[in-house]
Amino acid sequence: MVVNLAAGLDARPYRMSLPASLQWIEVDLPEILTYKEGILANEKPVCALERVRTDLSDGSARRALFADLDRRAKRILILTEGLLIYLSAEEVAALAKDLAASSHFQRWILDLASPGLLRMMQRTTGKQLSEVGAPFKFGPAEGPAFFTPHGWEPMDVKGLLKTATRFKRPPFFLRLLGRLPEKKGPAGNRPWSGVCLLKNADGRGRTGRRELHPLRLEIERPAVRLGVGGPFHGINRKGSALAGSLGRLCRHGLFLTALHILGSDVLDVLCKAPLVAKRSVTFP
């Protein structure tokens, strides 16, 4: 089972080569999922897709949801793309502990920004996002080690700039930076963003069971760019402001910030961009 928390407009269940029997659970606010279902009404997912309308900021509601999912499958992968950066450190810690308490939640994939990149983002598009009630908050000084006291151990970490450089996605000068070796340990003041694979440190639920298969994540290049306003325009004030911020990010060449924010949520569904390149990265 794959559980995508704050799934937004992610379209992986429609575009990835997945087993038809795979359970894929999308969790988000009711209005977001209703809007998404309207856009994708004529599309068919390739796996067993289910959507759950839940406010993840409600601790009691999310713990009840996690307990229910934990009973339904024995090997569960959690995704939180573009979620944690909007939470405080205390809120992220509480979420991590709630996830770790579910014995069948074996792996967790999340995106993470360094304190240096967080400050850069707060000075740029973060100003506009703060105005619409979505400030950037989370960029732990410990890096992936932040999650260790809360029940999760880092297994693998992939820097977004270095990974994007492999597929020639950044501008030329950033590709040169992407070829430099990454320093080990927390990035600190250096602008860094990455994807982390964590494992549940609690041994319950894994003894005598098969480990999850190697995870393959698709990295894609859209054939069109997101313009100011773009497909968000006219949805509501918050959506329009967000799209304008993302468009300005792309125009000003703040690639690290844009790469962190422009996940599949925007590009997959709203832009409906034809893919001109598709690659995969394998995690152990």
> Bigger pLDDT: 19 or 182?
19
Q: What is the mean pLDDT of residues 237-265?
A: 41
Report pLDDT for 67.
97
Alpha-carbon gap, residue 166 to 266, rounded angstroms: 22
Strand blocks (E) in the chain: 2-5, 23-28, 48-53, 76-80, 105-113, 152-159, 193-200, 215-222, 275-283
> Bigger pLDDT: 75 or 272?
75
Question: What are the Cα distances from residue 54, in Å, to 25, 66, 96, 112, 221?
Answer: 12, 11, 17, 23, 31
Winning range, highest mean pLDDT, from 73-77, 118-122, 131-135: 73-77
Residues 204-248: tens digit of each pLDDT: 444 334 444 444 444 333 322 222 222 222 233 333 344 444 444
Q: What is the CATH number of domain 2-213?
A: 3.40.50.150
Average predicted confidence (pLDDT) for the chain: 74
pTM over the 0.85 mark: no
Confidence of residue 180 (pLDDT cuts 50, 70, 90): low
Structure tokens given for 172: 């030329």
